[in-house]
Amino acid sequence: MSTQTPSRRREAITGLLFLLPVLVIFGAFKFIPILGAAGMSLTRYRLNGDVTFIGGDNYARLLADANFWHSVGVTFLYVALFVPATIVVSLGGAMLLNAVAGGATGIFRALLFVPYLCSFVLAGIVWSWIFRTDGPVNAALHELQLGPVHFLTGKQLLVLASLAVVSVWKGFGYSMLVFLAGLKAQPAEVYEAAVLDGASPRQVFLRITLPLLKPVFFFVLVMETIIGFQVFDTIYVMTGGGPARASFSITYFLYDAGFKFLDFGYAAAIGVALFLIVLVLSILQRRWLEEKETA
């Protein structure tokens, strides 16, 4: 027998009605395409519309493909560079903004958020010029007798680090605002008590700020990990997957399979594999943070 009162049932129905447009949009543009991609990955899909069901052949081919495993390694290395750098820069920017008093906060917030509004293509074009052998960075290094540095045509670690710098510059503004909201929501009396007890700024940051930011930290960590694994625009504009496939990420591999070789079933299998990798990593990150909370 239901214990819900009529008023509670009405509230629940009203809430569902408000959520319905979002659920419909999510289903139409997220859930259904995911199911469609999963179904396509089980077929040999031709551009002329011919579809042949082949079961798990695309996945067996994927597991045996050296190019796939190479792209996985490249993507993990890129994410290992991009995500920590984004979190550090975003949190640092948020703490600086949180320390600024008065109307200046809004001005600095807008200035730091501007790169986020720029497209990845435009950012890639500008930074390609900045990183050129005869670009401004190498010109400055030349004056210091340290150049030239081949940022986009050198060793893999340097190339991926250069791409990560561009992505961090372009995207840290969003996570910065998320961290800033988390900082603004923290109770001031906790900090006042810590100061009265003689806590140093370092102790306040490690013992109060970071623990209170754990839910925000988890959200930023998951979101930036997803963004890192989906990197494509910057690579396409700046390196084209090179040099010698040094920046050949999973999404670039998917692009090659689908739009260069027109192997849409195989490309869908790559997309499903990417989805599963990100899902597993998100679960592992959640468990890691839960263990940190209980430790």
User: Could you tell me if residue 212 is inside a domain?
Assistant: yes
Residue 286's contacts (CB-CB under 8 Å, 6 or more residues apart) are 218, 222
Mean pLDDT of 11-24: 86
User: Could you tell me if residue 134 is inside a domain?
Assistant: yes
What would the two tokens of residue 208 be?
A: 């109060």
Q: What is the CATH classification number for the domain harbouring 255? A: 1.10.3720.10
For the chain, the average pLDDT equals 89
Partnered with residue 43 across adjacent β-strands are: 53
pLDDT of 277 > 90? The answer is yes
Quick check: helix, strand or coil at residue 44? strand
CA distance 168 to 175: 10
Residue that wins the pLDDT comparison between 27 and 253: 253
- At 6, phi and psi to the nearest 5? -55, -35
Is residue 108 within 8 A of residue 176, CB to CB? The reply is no
In order, the DSSP letters of 56-100 are: THHHHHHHT-HHHHHHHHHHHHHHHHHHHHHHHHHHHHHHHHHH-
Residue that wins the pLDDT comparison between 295 and 135: 135
User: Could you tell me if residue 258 is inside a domain?
Assistant: yes
What pLDDT is attached to residue 252? 96
The amino acid sitting at 137 is V
Q: What is the residue range of 217's domain?
A: 60-294
User: Could you tell me if residue 23 is inside a domain?
Assistant: no
CA 177 to chain centre: 15
Share of the chain above pLDDT 70, in %: 96
Residue 162: C-alpha distances to residues 133, 159, 170, 246, 284 (Å): 13, 5, 13, 12, 28
User: Could you tell me if residue 165 is inside a domain?
Assistant: yes
Residue that wins the pLDDT comparison between 106 and 113: 113
pLDDT of 155 > 80? The answer is yes
- Encode pLDDT of 203-254 as tens digits: 888 888 888 898 899 899 999 999 999 999 999 999 999 999 999 999 999 9
User: Could you tell me if residue 16 is inside a domain?
Assistant: no
What pTM, to 2 d.p., does this model score? 0.88
In our burial notation (b when 16+ CB lie closer than 10 A, e otherwise), range 93-107 reads bbeebbeeeeeeeee
In total, how many domains does the chain have? 1
> For the purposes of burial, counting CB atoms within 10 Å of the CB of 160, is it exposed (0-12), middle (13-18) or buried (19 or more)?
buried
Mean pLDDT of 140-162: 91
User: Could you tell me if residue 30 is inside a domain?
Assistant: no
pLDDT of 2 > 70? The answer is no
User: Could you tell me if residue 1 is inside a domain?
Assistant: no
What pLDDT is attached to residue 1? 45
Mean pLDDT of 100-112: 77
